[in-house]
């Protein structure tokens, strides 16, 4: 079987497929086997860290990302993933440092700016967070996550008026919703006002 292969690259590729399928334990098994064969490949440790992170094994995940960085010091993806784990742990300042390092290596990475903004916002640094979200949109104006985060951050800025907030929401609508207008089909509800009304409840 391929899982018993001595080809580290083949095992690595299988681990990627397993990861994309949500089979994280298999991912760890495959990539650990690959590392036993060749322990000098930074992407192997990146994939290991990602699978461990998905399982909630955050400290082990951090160790894997640090190992990836040790092998390949200018590995932006490893710094980005490290920032995400640190953010998940509530280590906001450390996550910010990791994101800044990822940006230093790869400055045109919109998702890093967006997640950096999330850490800054969690620290109460709303202006810095908004600037980071805006930078993600400069890189990619169609980055919906960055634009959504920008809108959300404005709700916490005391000097931004309701009109400014609504204007930003309108820009979001024009960019992401209106282009889909031709694909939106009317709901085939019965228009009879005397029809029986059905009410559903959602629990949160």
Alpha-carbon distances of 30 from 16, 33, 58, 62, 95, rounded to whole Å: 9, 5, 19, 19, 28
CB of 69 closer than 8 Å to CB of 82: yes
Spell out the domains of the chain, with CATH numbers in brackets. Answer: 1-73 (1.25.40.10), 93-158 (1.25.40.10)
| pLDDT number for residue 199 | 77
Q: Where are the alpha helices (DSSP H) in 41-91?
A: 42-54, 58-71, 76-88
Pull the structure tokens for residue 153.
Answer: 């951050």
- Res 5 pLDDT > 70: no
Any idea which residue has 């920032």 for tokens? 83
d(CA 84, CA 164): 30
| pLDDT number for residue 4 | 59
d(CA 34, CA 80): 23
* pLDDT 10s digits, 91-140: 999 999 999 999 999 999 999 999 999 999 999 999 999 999 999 999 99
CB of 104 closer than 8 Å to CB of 110: no
Q: How confident is the model at residue 202 (pLDDT cuts 50, 70, 90)?
A: low
């Amino acid at each position: 079987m391929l899982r018993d292969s001595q080809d580290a690259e083949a095992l690595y590729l299988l681990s990627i497929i397993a990861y994309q399928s949500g089979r994280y334990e298999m991912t760890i098994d495959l990539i650990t086997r690959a590392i036993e064969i060749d322990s000098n490949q930074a992407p192997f440790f990146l994939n290991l860290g990602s699978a461990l992170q998905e399982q909630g094994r955050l400290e082990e995940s951090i160790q894997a990302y640090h190992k990836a960085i040790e092998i390949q010091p200018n590995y932006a993806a490893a710094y980005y993933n490290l920032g995400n784990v640190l953010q998940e742990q509530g280590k906001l300042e450390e996550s910010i440092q990791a994101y800044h390092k990822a940006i230093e290596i790869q400055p045109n990475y919109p998702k890093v700016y967006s997640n950096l903004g999330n850490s800054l916002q969690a620290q109460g640094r709303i202006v810095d967070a908004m600037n980071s979200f805006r930078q993600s949109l400069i890189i990619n104006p169609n980055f919906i996550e960055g634009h959504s985060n920008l809108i959300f951050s404005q709700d916490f800025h005391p000097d931004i008026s309701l009109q400014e907030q609504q204007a930003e929401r309108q820009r979001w609508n024009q960019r992401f919703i209106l282009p889909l207008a031709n694909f939106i089909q009317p709901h085939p509800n019965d228009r009879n006002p005397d029809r029986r009304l059905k009410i559903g409840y959602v629990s949160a």
